[in-house]
Amino acid sequence: MFWKIRFSKAQFASLLFVTATTCWADAQTFTLQTLIDKGMTENPQVAVSQAQTEAALAGITSAKSYANPDIEVMAGPARYRNPPIDTRHNVGITLSQPLEFPGTRAARRQFAEQEFNYAERGIQTTRFELRNQIKYAYLNVLLRQQVVQMLQANLELLKQIQSKVKRKVEVGEAPRYELIKADTELLAAERDYASAETRIEEAKAMLRGMVGNLPDQFEVDKQLPALATLPNLLALRQEAENNPYLQQLTIAKQSAEAKLKLEESLRFPGVTLKSDFTQDPDLNTFRVGMVVPLPLWNKREGQIAQAAAGVQEASATIQLQQQLLRREIEGAYQRSVIASNQVKVFETSLLQQSEATLSRAEAAYKFGERGILEYLDAQRVNRDVKRDYLIAKFDYFFSVLQIERFIGSDLVQP
């Protein structure tokens, strides 16, 4: 009966392995460049920006259009007041054509063109932001996967340790508290491993939401992207002027100034040419005239004041964004320096020291010089050091990505 149960478990484990292998083989692997390309074509944010650009382009067409003429036709009976009494008909036709002054027409077209420039810059800003976010989500998936690999190796090692300790306790070579400690460490490792696997799915879900149409099961290329040389802080401050959002705000200010100019010109926008033909029973009349609006009661003070306030708001927003960029760039740069220094410390000393300490603790435990507690503590310290090293290495990537977003230049290259 024992062998039957054991054989069934082995079969079940084999079935799980084959199923997992098949699912992994069926899962499509995406490179970072492929994910970025898919995001540029499938993410709804890009489609929204493109639709806004098309609407702004249609606004230029509307601004270039001329006003349609009006034609008025009137007819009715006409009767003489003095004899002989007779009834006849009269007909009147009036043709009107509104005409804008050249300055007003130019201001309207300039405002429409600035709105189009703002929308077009919005596409570039959206694409750059999405590209940066996809890189971040991609690196986050890689980080979670490497953490899981580390925790899996640690879990397998703890399983071996727990098995050895269990045999020693059963034969009386070790006290029972060592098995309790080994079981506790194994349970904690299993908990951490399960939690880390869940975080992988969470990171993939975030990546899927940014890219758009991705399958439920997919993998990412495990190769880290290349990093460009990070400029110094002074150069980063100068390159911050290339920030896409800041450039879009500059165009927004130009658009606000064009709107102010348009509102000022609309106080006296143009004239209306009119021609009138009237046919009476005994008289035909043809007249040509002009209708001129008089800005006496409504001088568009409110509209002009609103447009002027829009210009002031745009200027203040640009200054605020420049201050925020300077602050954020300095913070991201300092974080990159800290992460880079931490990586160097891990690679030059901490990793080797941790491995050496673990090796000595393992050897001392095997020869009976140290107990299981010291060995498990060394194992836990080694795991924490490796995990901190991974976090520091990816923190450097994340800080560079933040700098990339602030200066508007690709520093993390697929």
Confirm whether 15 is domain-assigned.
Answer: no
Q: What kind and span of H or E run contains 15?
A: helix 2-26
13 domain residue, yes or no: no
Q: Say whether pLDDT at 15 is over 50.
A: no
Residue 366 has pLDDT above 70, yes or no: yes
Residues 269, 293: contact at Cβ < 8 Å? yes
The separation between CA 350 and the C-alpha centre of its own chain, rounded to angstroms, equals 36
Q: In CATH, what number is assigned to the domain containing residue 163?
A: 1.20.1600.10
Cβ proximity of 109 and 382 under 8 Å: no
Sign of the C-alpha dihedral computed for residues 108, 113, 118 and 119 taken in this order? positive
pLDDT value at residue 242: 87
Is residue 71 within 8 Å of 93, Cβ to Cβ?
yes
DSSP, residue by residue, 223-241:
SPPEEPPPPPHHHHHHHGG
Q: Is the model's pLDDT at 13 over the cut of 80?
A: no
* E strand segments, 223-330: 226-227, 270-279, 284-291
Tens digit of each residue's pLDDT (9 = 90 or more) over 224-277: 898 888 888 899 988 888 899 999 999 999 999 999 999 999 988 889 999 998
Whole-number pLDDT of residue 87: 61
- CB-CB contact of 400 with 340 (8 Å): no
Q: Quick check: 86 pLDDT over 80? A: no
What average pLDDT score do residues 75-86 get?
Answer: 66
Give the residue numbers spanning the domain of 227.
Answer: 34-78+89-413
Rounding to the nearest 10 degrees, give the CA dihedral for residues 111, 116, 121, 122.
110
Grade residue 378 by pLDDT with cuts at 50, 70 and 90.
confident
Is there a domain that residue 42 lies in?
yes
What is the pTM for the complete model shown?
Answer: 0.81
CA dist 311 and 260 (Å) reads: 8
| Residues 397-408, mean pLDDT to the nearest whole number | 92
83 in a structural domain: no
Cα 290 to its chain centre, rounded Å, is 55
Task: Of 300, 299, 330, give the one whose Cα is nearest residue 399.
Answer: 330
- Give the lowest-confidence range in 113-127, 263-277, 295-309, 369-383: 369-383
> What local confidence, expressed as pLDDT, does residue 76 receive?
80
Q: What is the mean pLDDT of the chain?
A: 86
- Contact in structure between 63 and 147 (CB atoms under 8 Å): no
Looking at the domain assignment, is residue 155 inside a domain?
yes
Q: 92 in helix, strand or coil?
A: strand
According to DSSP, the residues that pair with 28 across neighbouring strands are 218
Terminus-to-terminus CA distance in the chain, angstroms? 57
Choose the weakest-confidence range: 106-120, 276-290, 309-323.
276-290
pLDDT of residue 90: 80
Q: Give CA–CA dist 387/151, Å, rounded.
A: 9
Q: How far apart are CA 78 and CA 94, in angstroms?
A: 19
Report the domain count for the chain. 1
* pLDDT: which is higher, 294 or 77: 294
pLDDT, tens digit, 9 for 90 and up, residues 159-214 = 888 888 888 888 887 788 888 888 888 898 899 899 999 999 999 999 998 887 88
**CA–CA separation, 54 vs 50, rounded Å?**
6
Give the amino acid at 225: P
Distance CA 94, CA 285 (A): 11
